[in-house]
Amino acid sequence: MVDMNTTMITTQDLTRHFTVNKRTVEAVRGLDLTVEQGEMVALLGPNGAGKSTTLRMLTTLIAPTSGRATVAGQDITGDPRRVRQRIGYIGQGNGAGHQQRGRDELVTQGRAYGMDRSAAQRRAAELVESLDLVEVADRKVSTLSGGQRRRLDIAMGLIHAPGLLFLDEPSTGLDPQNRANLQEHIAALRERHGTTVVLTTHYLDEADSLAERVVVIDHGIVVADDTPARLKANHAGDRITLSFGSGDEATSAAGRIGRAHRNAVVSRDGTVVRARVAGGTFLLPGLLHDLDGAGVPARAAEVSRPTLDDVFLNLTGRSLREGRAGTDVDQTRTTDSLEVSA
Amino acid sequence: MNTLIHDTGIVFTRELRPVLRDPFSVVFSMIQPLIFLGLFAPLLTQVPGLGAGSTLQWFVPGIVVMSCLFGASMTGSNLLMEMQTGSHERMLVTPLSRSSLLMGRALKEIVPVLLQAVILVLVVLPFDFELHAAGVVVGLAVLAVFCIGLGSLSYALALAAKGQDWIFWTVQQTLIFPLLLLAGMLLPVDAGPGWLQTVSKLNPLTYVVDVERSLFAGTFEAGELLTGTLAAVAVCVFGLWVGTRSMRAAD
């Protein structure tokens, strides 16, 4: 075990290059990161941002090109075996061999972490119970459903009750119910055992609801690092959308809003005016009153709370959702809207 | 060293479990050797160079080596699959030593090879085949050493293919038939042209097949025993060296 109040991860200028078709790709470029014991950190970024490469370096699966990292008190390049002893890792794939049986794999994992046979069997039985795998643990892994296999992956990652747990895209490919299930497990782990958790994700809601700290990574560097609430407050305002009776009215309203609120980013599109501004929900009533008085009443109004995607868009000029299937967009948006008829 | 043995034991046990849970899988991988036994051996009646005994007496040791050759050379595909599904990565993040991940897998190859050999011998026993138990036991020991090396090479190939099936199978299929034919497994090489005999002498498998034939016939000939054992040990050492190197280098 590691002492309380200690730093779990520190990296200094951590860098990893890959050679792809004789070209050098800088997957991670001088990453500095510190994670304290008990933190729950999400590395958020689009595919190819360098999240997984970072995780693979921290879990000793690949060596850094340059830079240093200390994980659970051990240098990752000095003694990778001791790092592996102290960390848990749940990768993107299935930890259990498809030809194996789940319980057998759990026992093997326990043995790999130094337990004797009976201790490994006891621990396996415990995890089978707590992850609701009793009915399927003695079946061949290839016959399990995706959600069952994922629970088995978690069980394998937790076999030695690690103080530091890494999860690489834990909920990719899971249906919403299994995703919620998984998030509950991770949260419970933290509450009960004080486990430090570092996960990568490109699901915004996952980062938002699960992590207390979100590290936004893009092109291999950290572009922001804060709580979800502060990231949203500092890097994205509320989005106010107002509709008007005509384009002329909209133009005049946009000018008024811009002059009254210097911090707002205002744009007009036909009869619609959009303004991005901090504290939009509080500004809206006064804004509507002012526009009424000026003779350009809004016909409809809506305020959207900022999402982490807005944060990402603001920081990088790109949306995290670009190029992805739109199915989970609705789930990831947290919209408080209010309609005002004029 | 202790850690290596301990870790190798864990990997060996893990690899062996699916075989023990489903022993019938061993029989499936024997279909090709059994076809050769049933459909090819009967064609060997008028062939010169088969020695003094019956056709089966000459052919069975070759088929035993063949089932080892097929089984052990394909075993890398299991690792290939685990590289694709993620369970190999799972093993790589455990504290198990990299070398043990290869050695445990390679050692497990002995088990299906021995099971297959026993089944083949039982199948031919009612026919024109004389069992020389002591010779067969020594022969299988030599074969076990050989298949550890071959299995390791197959795993090294899987690692080099980086999870791409077509690379693995193309290389495996390209190599297996020249090795098999040049070792005189199906037909004696002695009657062939000089160049073919020369190439055959460069194939370590030739010496393994030769020593299996004399051991299965109950003769312990020192020269053959030496070259056959040396060839098996050489393949084993080379295979383990290449295999553990690839496993340690695997990112």
pLDDT tens track for A189-242 = 888 888 999 999 877 778 888 888 999 888 888 988 888 888 877 777 788 899
Q: For residues A42 and A213, is the Cβ–Cβ distance under 8 A?
A: yes
Query: Which one, of A91, A89, A65, A93, lies nearest residue A77 by Cα?
Result: A65
Asked whether residue A332 carries a pLDDT value surpassing 60, the answer given is no
Q: Which residues of A76-104 are buried (b: 16+ CB within 10 A; e: fewer)?
A: beeebebbbbbbbbbbbbbbbbbbbbbbb
Confidence of residue A334 (pLDDT cuts 50, 70, 90): very low
Search chain B and give the residue with CA nearest A79.
Answer: B95
CB pairs under 8 A between A and B: 77
Q: For residues B136 and B61, is the Cβ–Cβ distance under 8 A?
A: no
Query: Which one, of B185, B228, B58, lies nearest residue B130 by Cα?
Result: B58
- In the structure encoding, which two tokens stand for residue A245, read together? 């009776």
- In the structure encoding, which two tokens stand for residue A151, read together? 């629970």
Out of B78, B84, B95, whose CB is closest to A84? Answer: B95
Q: For B220-239, what is the mean pLDDT?
A: 92
Distance, in Å, from the CA atom of B80 to the CA atom of B84, rounded to the nearest integer, reads 6
Search chain B and give the residue with CA nearest A139.
Answer: B21
Hey, is the C-beta of B14 within 8 angstroms of any chain A C-beta? yes
Q: Report which residue type is found at B148.
A: I
Hey, is the C-beta of B89 within 8 angstroms of any chain A C-beta? yes
Search chain B and give the residue with CA nearest A100.
Answer: B18
Q: For A305-313, what is the mean pLDDT?
A: 78
Chain B residues lying within 8 Å of A74, measured CB to CB: none
Distance, in Å, from the CA atom of B170 to the CA atom of B176, rounded to the nearest integer, reads 10
What pLDDT is attached to residue B188?
A: 83
Query: Which one, of A202, A214, A231, lies nearest residue A305 by Cα?
Result: A231
- Alpha carbon A1 to chain centroid distance? 27
Mean pLDDT of chain A: 84
Half-sphere exposure of B43 (CA within 13 A, CB side): 8
- Residues in CB range of A54: below 8 A, 6 or more apart: A14, A16, A28, A31, A33, A43, A200, A217
Q: For residues A171 and A183, is the Cβ–Cβ distance under 8 A?
A: yes
Hey, is the C-beta of B3 within 8 angstroms of any chain A C-beta? no
Q: For residues B172 and B154, is the Cβ–Cβ distance under 8 A?
A: yes
Preferred mutation among A99, A106, A140 to probe B, highest tally of B CBs within 10 A: A99
First to last CA, chain B: 24
Interfacial A residues in 126-185 facing B (CB < 8 Å): 156
Q: Report helix, strand and coil shares of chain B as percent, to nearest 5.
A: 80, 0, 20
First to last CA, chain A: 63
Distance, in Å, from the CA atom of B51 to the CA atom of A336, rounded to the nearest integer, reads 90
Least confident of A277-286, B67-76, B210-219: A277-286
8 Å CB contact of B81 and A109? no
Asked whether residue A327 carries a pLDDT value surpassing 70, the answer given is no
Report the side by side order of strands in the sheet with A7-20. Answer: A23-36, A7-20, A66-71, A74-75
Report the side by side order of strands in the sheet with A87-90. Answer: A87-90, A164-168, A196-201, A40-44, A213-218, A221-226
